[in-house]
Each structure stands twice: as C-alpha cells, then as structure tokens.
Amino acid sequence: MINMLLKIMILVFLLVQTALSAQDFQGSAVYQTKTKVDIDLAASGIPADRIKRIEEMMKNQMEKTYILTFDKTASVYKEEVKLDQGAASGGPGMRFAMMGGGASGKYYKNTQTKTSAKENEFSGKNFLIKDALKTYEWKMEQETKMIGNNLCFKATTIIEMPANANSFSFGRQNNNNSETKKEEEEKIELVPVTAWYSMDIPVSHGPGDYWGLPGLILEINAGNTQIMATKIVMNPKEKSDISEPNKGKVMTQKEYDVMLKEKMKEMQERFSNERQKSGGTGSGMHMRVN
C-alpha cells in the first residue's frame, strides 16, 4: 500500500514538473518560527522588572518571520527585517547572546547542484558560508493534513545537533569548570524532525536547512522549534532575485563555527574581566537553548 502511494506521488510530481518546465515558474512562502523555552526566572534572584524585560527579549529572539523565494531549483531564505529592540530592552549589565549556524542575510540553496551559500555578519565583518547541502534520510509516512488550502503529507527524520547549540546569557558569567563546559559543548543529541510538505507545489525546497521532499515543506517541527508557513504566493507579477550571493569572506560551515566559538569565548573572557575590574564577582545565570 505504501509503495503504491509513493509511486503515485512520484508520478504526479514528475508530471507537474514537466508541465512547469516550459514556464517562468516562481513562488514565495512566508514562515513564522517559534521556539519554546522552559526556564524558571523567578528562582534566579533577578528583579521582577528585569525578568519582564528578559522575557520580552527572549520572545523577540524566539519568534521570527522569514520569506522563502523559490523557482524550480533554487531558493533564497531571508529573515523579514524588523526594528530590533532587544538591546534597548535589555538595559545595562545584561547580555543576551545566541550561538548558531543560521544566516543573518540571504540563505541560498540550489537543489540541482546540492550547494548552499549563507550571508552572515559577525562583529562588523561579512562572511559567506559556502557548503554542500545537508542530506536528510526522510521517511514517508501515511498521515496527511491540510495547511491552508494545501493537502500536505508527513515525512520524518532524525538529525544530530550539539546538546548546547544556542546559548543565552544573562548577567555575569562564571568561567570556572571550563573542562566541564567543554564536555557539555561537545555532546551530541538526536532530535526527531517532522515535516509536512505539499505536492501542490512540486519543488524540493523548504525553510532553513530543510529540503529534499517531493513538494514544498510548509511545516517543520524539530525539538522545541516549529516553523509554519502562513502565506504562499505563486507566480507573482514581479519576479524576485534568486541568485547566489557573492559578498563576504568565503568559509565552510565548519570553519565558521570554529571561528565563531573562538570569538564568543574571547568576548566572554573580556566581559568577565571587565566585571571583575568593576567589582563584580564573576557569577551569574547562564541559560542554553537547543
């Protein structure tokens, strides 16, 4: 039964792809991303007014809007530009840092050449992270559901992630037990991923790193993170630029991650030294979010 369903799905995909091959095909999808964070700030000793500012800042960082523009083989994924009030709401003496390999500019993916290019800005410098696309061992499931007007099929996979992929820090850092911290950073955990894709839009694109299914991915659930398409526009009158970015120092993702960790470590050490010089004890609260 499953094999027959897969054959029908593949046949429909190929037929629609053939029909689209003679067209100047393009589309876009708007995605809302949310990440749940479970933490008891009331027990941290932080004043109530500062806890409120921290929660507002966390919400701004955890809930974002992205736009995916795509044609048959290429796509550009980019965050919708909004006024960043995180630093202003944080106030003095509080840090809110996030570690991760996402793109701060355009994130270009090409499913034909299986390559990607991410624009990232860090510490006032521009980087261009060029690498091969991540591969996923998708398992096709029998479940279906509607997302808007699109019939979606379920697919699942397992991904590996650092146990402390993202780091959020508040207040003063405690730099003791560096060996323990190093061991924590090196831990890898297996994260189940559920994707919902629609063959109504027969392209292999998706939000973020995700791709490789016989239809546009409209929803991703990975650990505590959900990515949901809220709007889809097909064949707009005004075409968008879906070209590969070419500005910035070229690095691989691995090279960039190593550089980023080194720079963040330098920043933490400098911050700790400044706190100690100003009479701080070097202690505080540290939260990590995957």
Which range, of 125-134, 172-181, 224-233, 272-281, averages the lowest pLDDT?
A: 172-181
Q: What is the share, in percent, of the chain residues with pLDDT greater than 90?
A: 47
Q: Residue 98 — φ and ψ, nearest 5°? A: -125, 130
C-alpha to C-alpha distances, 84 to 59, 64, 127, 244, nearest whole angstrom: 12, 11, 21, 26
Q: Residue 17: pLDDT band by 50, 70, 90 thresholds? A: low
Mean pLDDT value across residues 255-276: 83
Q: What is the pLDDT of residues 34-84, one digit of tens each?
A: 987 766 666 666 777 777 777 777 776 778 999 999 999 999 999 987 655
Is the Cβ–Cβ distance between 28 and 53 less than 8 Å? no
pLDDT > 60? residue 86: no
Which range, of 3-7, 88-92, 178-182, averages the lowest pLDDT?
A: 88-92
Computed over every residue of the chain, the mean pLDDT equals: 79
Rounded to an integer, what distance in angstroms lies between the CA atom of residue 218 and that of residue 197? 5
pLDDT > 90? residue 12: no
Q: What is the pLDDT of residues 214-227, one digit of tens each?
A: 999 999 999 889 99
pLDDT > 90? residue 30: yes
Q: What is the pLDDT of residue 167?
A: 47
Q: Which of 120-124, 181-185, 202-206, 286-290 has the highest mean pLDDT?
A: 202-206
Q: Residue 123: pLDDT band by 50, 70, 90 thresholds? A: confident
Q: What is the DSSP letter of 207?
A: S
Mean pLDDT value across residues 185-213: 93
Residue that wins the pLDDT comparison between 54 and 4: 54
b/e per residue, 199-212, with b = 16+ CB within 10 A?
bbbbbbbbbbbbbb
Residues with Cβ within 8 Å of residue 66, at least 6 apart in sequence: 30, 31, 33, 77, 78, 79, 80, 207, 208, 227
pLDDT > 60? residue 15: no
241: left (phi over 0), alpha (psi -120 to 50) or beta: beta
Q: Residue 285: pLDDT band by 50, 70, 90 thresholds? A: very low
Is the Cβ–Cβ distance between 150 and 198 less than 8 Å? yes
Q: What is the pLDDT of residue 289?
A: 47
Rounded to an integer, what distance in angstroms lies between the CA atom of residue 185 and that of residue 288? 10
Give the residue carrying structure tokens 């029909």: 19
pLDDT > 80? residue 164: no
pTM, entire model:
0.75
DSSP assignment of 20-81, as one string? HTTS---EEEEEEEEE-----GGGGT--HHHHHHHHHHHHHHHEEEEEEEE-SSEEEEEEPP
Mean pLDDT value across residues 184-203: 89
Q: What is the pLDDT of residues 237-250, one digit of tens each?
A: 888 999 999 999 99
